[in-house]
Chains A and B, each alone.
Chain A
Amino acid sequence: MKQFIIFVKKEFYHILRDPKTLIIIIGLPIIQILTFGFALTNEVKNSKIAILNPTIDETTTKIVDRLEASRFFEIEKSINSPNDLDAAFKSGKIRMAVVFQNNFQSNLLHNKKADIQLITDASDPNIATMVSNYATAIINDAQTELNPNYQMPYQINIATRLFYNPQQIGAYSFVPGIMAMVLLLISTMMTSLAIVREKELGSMELLLASPMKPLVLILSKVVPYLIISLFNWLMIVILSVWLMEVPINGSFLLLFLVSLVFIVASLALGLFISSITDSQQVAMMISLMGMLLPTLILSGFMFPIENMPLPLQVVSNIVPSKWYYSIVKDIMIKGLGINAIWKETLVLVGMTLFFIAVSLKKFKIRIS
């Protein structure tokens, strides 16, 4: 036990005295959350729009107010004539123009029909579609409010409900993704690097020649990274909840426990990598190419797995983060309990046991 404590202490000296390691450990989660949260978001917020409203009346004012009040739009200017539209778009300042018909309210009252035209800058088609969808939704809302009892004689009403994330907030899907990515990187890459470094230095031989038991040796090498990973996990959770306003709808304890399972699986993976190579460079390559890329591509975090060709769908099953990602979404966003996630958790446990068994076997061969 004393050996263990003194070893863990030494490991923390290594970590705390290497600025590169520190930056990765502390900086990575923060940078990821911030970039994904504020830069790489697929929501379109605060789009600047122009309004062309020839006859200002109660109804148009209401609609314009609603658009302005939403977090999606910001009214850049009012335009007086259709001729100015072109110039407004060319200035590059606005994404959309909302054009009301002449005498909008009186048309609506007397003819039961009035038109609004949404003109978007489709040089980026995805944004154009999204912006017009937001606007349509807001205008429809306004219409319902203006005329709650009105029903058309024949009408198919499509009521869409977006379960779990009605506002389509991007953070709901990237936070679990970042959790998987950061934990995997810290646990797997840092652990394998730390062990392989001792091999490269030659200190591993010295340690093996000491009375320290190999199992204690491995444990004391792994435990510091377990602690750091848990710290990182907590940091991500705090940042996501307070900064990104991502809820934890399910049980926090359950989330913690499955994260612990995932961390242990990643540590076991790191152990496995360190058992198959003697060079830090190779360990790093395996961790990055073998872990980070599949996590980004095959976990379902960036690209939906359902859309992939079948072979890739099959391959995605061996990526641990795929399982963890789905568990975290189930717990945090959908608020589901153990019944929904036990299968995925079992897969992770199975992977952990497999990697530990293989590394121990490799380790024994090495000594003999």
Chain B
Amino acid sequence: MNLAIEVNELTKKFGDFVAVDHISFSVKKGEIFGFLGANGAGKTTAMKMLIGISIPTSGNATVAGFDLNRYPDKIKQNIGYMSQKFSLYEDLNIIENIRFYGGIYGLSRKEIAEKSEKLLEKLDLQSVSKSLVSSLPLGWKQKLSFSIAMIHEPSIIFLDEPTGGVDPITRRQFWDLIYEASENGTTVFVTTHYMDEAEYCERVSIMVDGKIAALNTPKQLKQDFKAASMDEVFYQLARGAKRSDH
């Protein structure tokens, strides 16, 4: 099996409202997969189903080799998740945050100690390891948060708008971390609003009104839509959307 995620007719309804409408796609192992869509297009709901915190109405998916409907717990053990909304507990220091997440992913004390040392060294945070997270700049928090989401060495990492609100340089540095993870064999599933980031992805899917409207490499998408940039591709697709924000 060379697929990290395989989605088959996955659907989520809230009453009469079909948030995710029979979507099917697959993500290769080690791939950086961009999951795009306007607000309200259903990408967050789709992602929540894939990480096992929302139960699909119908359809199925295989994530990290496990059936979503049957073994959601196995999936949780093998994936990492990071969201822009929450990164870290601000009133805990860096080391305590690392220990906490290592702990809830079932890592042993020794493993956590080794991992945190490596992690702090890599991010050059040893000197501030005892400082509260609230005192760190946003860019650092996000890098730290990404590394913590990777602490249990998941085979897939889900990133929900990971770079919201940071400057372009920090975003670029963040993407270096993503590339590195991908090179080490981790599959990266990322949602973003920044179209320049969409260009960094190997393949991109764009959701409109609960369906996947397009899925290909950024280069191919630009050709297909005769567009100069991903921005333009996105605009052409999203313009036809019936659902908008809220």
Chain A interface (Cβ < 8 Å from any Cβ of B): 2-3, 5-7, 9-10, 13-14, 17-18, 201-203, 205-212, 367-368
Q: Can you list 12 pairs linking A and B with CB atoms under 8 Å apart?
A: A2-B106, A6-B104, A13-B96, A14-B91, A205-B83, A209-B52, A209-B53, A210-B76, A210-B81, A210-B105, A211-B105, A212-B104
Q: Is the CB of A203 within 8 A of B51?
A: no
Contact with A along B30-72 (1 / 0, CB 8 A): 0000000000000000001001111100000000000000000
Residues of A within 8 A of B55 (CB): 367-368
Q: Is the CB of A206 within 8 A of B96?
A: no
Q: Is the CB of B105 within 8 A of A202?
A: no
Q: Is the CB of B85 within 8 A of A202?
A: yes
Considering the chains assembled together, what is the distance between the CA atoms of A37 and B83 in angstroms?
A: 50
Considering the chains assembled together, what is the distance between the CA atoms of A13 and B52 in angstroms?
A: 28
The residue in chain B whose Cβ has the minimal distance to the Cβ of A204 is B86
Q: Is the CB of A211 within 8 A of B53?
A: no
Judge whether B89 is part of the interface by a CB distance below 8 angstroms. yes
Q: Which of B73, B77, B85, B91 contacts A17 (CB 8 A)?
A: B91
In the complex, how many angstroms separate the beta carbon of B131 from the nearest chain A beta carbon? 13
Residues of B within 8 A of A18 (CB): 91
Question: What is the size, in residues, of chain B's interface with A at 8 Å between Cβ atoms?
Answer: 28
Q: Which of B53, B82, B103 contacts A3 (CB 8 A)?
A: B103
Q: Is the CB of A201 within 8 A of B103?
A: no
Considering the chains assembled together, what is the distance between the CA atoms of A14 and B55 in angstroms?
A: 31
Using known A-B contacts A202-B86, A205-B53, determine if residue A10 contacts B106 with beta carbons closer than 8 Å.
no
Q: Is the CB of A14 within 8 A of B104?
A: no
Considering the chains assembled together, what is the distance between the CA atoms of A2 and B96 in angstroms?
A: 15
In the complex, how many angstroms separate the beta carbon of A125 from the nearest chain B beta carbon? 53
Considering the chains assembled together, what is the distance between the CA atoms of A301 and B125 in angstroms?
A: 55
Considering the chains assembled together, what is the distance between the CA atoms of A210 and B52 in angstroms?
A: 9
- When A and B form their complex, which 10 residue pairs have the shortest distance between CB atoms, in order from nearest? A202-B86, A6-B103, A202-B85, A209-B81, A208-B53, A368-B55, A211-B76, A203-B86, A211-B77, A209-B51
Residues of B within 8 A of A368 (CB): 54-55
Residues of B within 8 A of A208 (CB): 53
Q: Which of A7, A206, A367 contacts B86 (CB 8 A)?
A: A206
In the complex, how many angstroms separate the beta carbon of A340 from the nearest chain B beta carbon? 46
Q: Is the CB of B91 within 8 A of A211?
A: no
A interface majority secondary structure: helix
In the complex, how many angstroms separate the beta carbon of A3 from the nearest chain B beta carbon? 5
Considering the chains assembled together, what is the distance between the CA atoms of A203 and B132 in angstroms?
A: 17
Considering the chains assembled together, what is the distance between the CA atoms of A6 and B86 in angstroms?
A: 19
Using known A-B contacts A13-B91, A367-B53, A367-B55, determine if residue A7 contacts B85 with beta carbons closer than 8 Å.
no
Considering the chains assembled together, what is the distance between the CA atoms of A183 and B180 in angstroms?
A: 51
Q: Is the CB of B89 within 8 A of A10?
A: yes
Q: Is the CB of A3 within 8 A of B91?
A: no
Judge whether B92 is part of the interface by a CB distance below 8 angstroms. yes
Q: Is the CB of B105 within 8 A of A14?
A: no
Judge whether B140 is part of the interface by a CB distance below 8 angstroms. no
Q: Is the CB of B81 within 8 A of A206?
A: yes
**Residue among A9, A205, A210 facing the most chain B CB atoms (10 A cut-off):** A210
Residues of B within 8 A of A205 (CB): 48, 53, 81, 83, 85-86
Judge whether B100 is part of the interface by a CB distance below 8 angstroms. yes
The residue in chain A whose Cβ has the minimal distance to the Cβ of B97 is A10
The residue in chain A whose Cβ has the minimal distance to the Cβ of B73 is A211
The residue in chain A whose Cβ has the minimal distance to the Cβ of B12 is A368
Contact with A along B86-114 (1 / 0, CB 8 A): 10010110001001110111100000000
Residues of A within 8 A of B91 (CB): 13-14, 17-18
Using known A-B contacts A10-B92, A17-B91, determine if residue A202 contacts B54 with beta carbons closer than 8 Å.
no
Q: Which of A6, A201, A202, A211 contacts B100 (CB 8 A)?
A: A6
In the complex, how many angstroms separate the beta carbon of B207 from the nearest chain A beta carbon? 19
In the complex, how many angstroms separate the beta carbon of B148 from the nearest chain A beta carbon? 10
In the complex, how many angstroms separate the beta carbon of A324 from the nearest chain B beta carbon? 33
Considering the chains assembled together, what is the distance between the CA atoms of A248 and B233 in angstroms?
A: 77
**Residue among B76, B86, B92 facing the most chain A CB atoms (10 A cut-off):** B86
Q: Is the CB of A3 within 8 A of B51?
A: no
Given A10-B96, A206-B86, A368-B54, 8 other A-B residues pairs in contact with their CB atoms under 8 A: A6-B104, A9-B100, A10-B89, A10-B100, A13-B96, A211-B73, A211-B105, A368-B55
